[in-house]
């Protein structure tokens, strides 16, 4: 019985459920171990190996989520900041949503990995979350989902309606995937402006309601003026000698930012970009060292 072939998609599934890449890897390891130990009890007349594994993984996630707080982004916790010079105080007590490093796994279908969508899904009760992901992302039938969750088809339909309504209100377009040439060109221009510390050029690439958020800081900003003011502050504090290296996270364009420090450029952050057309609508900047290590990036250049 080949189990490891499903590791990539199961990791994405557990990430959607928990909002934590590190937890997802642990849960998948536990899922595969449980499946191996129960292989003699697997009944191929009832479900495929893939469906059986998803049942084990989903229930492992539901158990892990019991009593846990949701994983938000800063923009999901309060109003945007109005002072780009505010203290940069981390909030380590918040279990922040983590990014998914695309390069670590071979995942052909990346629907449902976008940060905004995963953040919206975290608003749901765990079982609603499972129903939404199993139905709308993984396309299991209502009967299959009912079997996986030990419930009824009617209960699945009811949970799905409520989950779709909640997520649509919080992030209506977040499942939409797009990588048009115009967007790739906009990302290239953004990286060039970032390396040049050219704040006016950065601001020109922003949508009118662009968001800049930086977990583990609870502080976040909305709009080109506040975004640009904070970037100007960053360059004053950390200097203007930066390198940007393209990356991918959550099925989205991203980049690794390196700042000159002690004669070498050191890894500062991974920044995940959302775009609408050729404009940046959101930049989520991750600086936590444990999160950065999941990308397997060089520490210095």
Asked if 289 and 191 sit in the same domain, the reply is yes
Is there a domain that residue 97 lies in? no
Least confident of 30-44, 169-183, 184-198, 204-218: 169-183
Asked if 129 and 213 sit in the same domain, the reply is no
Is there a domain that residue 166 lies in? yes
Tokens of 117: 């969508």
Place 169 in a pLDDT band, splitting at 50, 70 and 90. Answer: confident
Tell me: pLDDT of 7 over 90.
yes
What integer is the mean pLDDT of 1-19? 93
| Domain closes at, from 138, 170, 202 | 170
- Output the CA–CA distances (angstroms, integers) from residue 84 to 23, 220, 228, 279, in the order listed: 33, 9, 9, 22
* pLDDT score for 181: 82
Q: What is the pLDDT of residues 101-147, one digit of tens each?
A: 998 888 776 778 999 999 999 999 999 999 999 999 999 999 999 99
What integer is the mean pLDDT of 261-284? 96
Place 177 in a pLDDT band, splitting at 50, 70 and 90. Answer: low
Asked if 247 and 165 sit in the same domain, the reply is no
* CA gap 166, 131 in Å, rounded: 13
Of 85, 112, 44, 45, whose CA–CA distance to 251 is shortest? 112
Element (H, E) at 145: helix 142-149
Asked if 54 and 134 sit in the same domain, the reply is yes
Asked if 160 and 186 sit in the same domain, the reply is no
What integer is the mean pLDDT of 198-207? 98
Query: What whole-number percentage of the chain has pLDDT above 90?
Result: 86
Q: What is the pTM of this model?
A: 0.94
């Amino acid at each position: 019985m080949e189990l490891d072939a499903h590791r990539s998609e199961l990791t994405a599934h557990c990430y959607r459920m928990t909002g934590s890449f590190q937890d997802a890897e642990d849960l998948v390891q536990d899922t595969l171990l449980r499946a191996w130990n129960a292989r003699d009890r697997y009944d191929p007349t009832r479900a495929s190996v893939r469906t059986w594994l998803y049942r084990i993984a989903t229930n492992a996630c539901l158990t892990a989520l019991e009593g846990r707080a949701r994983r938000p982004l800063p923009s999901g916790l309060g109003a945007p900041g109005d002072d780009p010079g505010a203290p940069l105080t981390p909030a380590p007590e918040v279990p922040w949503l983590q990014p998914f490093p695309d390069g670590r796994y071979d995942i052909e279908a990346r629907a449902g990995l976008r940060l905004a969508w995963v953040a919206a899904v975290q608003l749901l009760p765990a079982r609603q979350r499972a129903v939404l992901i199993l139905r709308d992302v993984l396309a299991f039938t209502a009967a299959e989902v009912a079997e996986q969750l030990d419930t009824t088809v009617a209960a699945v339909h009811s949970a799905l309606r409520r989950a779709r309504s909640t997520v649509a209100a919080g992030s209506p377009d977040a499942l939409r995937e797009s990588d048009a040439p115009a967007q790739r060109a906009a990302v290239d221009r953004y990286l060039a402006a970032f390396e040049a510390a050219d704040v006016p050029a950065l601001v020109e690439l922003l949508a009118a309601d662009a968001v800049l958020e930086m977990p583990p800081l609870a502080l976040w900003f909305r709009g080109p003026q506040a975004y640009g003011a904070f970037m100007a502050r960053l360059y004053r504090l950390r200097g203007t000698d930066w390198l940007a290296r393209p990356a991918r996270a959550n099925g989205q364009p991203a980049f690794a930012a390196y700042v000159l420090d002690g004669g070498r450029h050191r890894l500062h952050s991974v920044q995940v970009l959302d775009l609408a057309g050729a404009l940046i609508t959101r930049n989520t900047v991750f600086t936590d060292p444990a999160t950065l290590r999941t990308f397997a990036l060089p520490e210095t250049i």
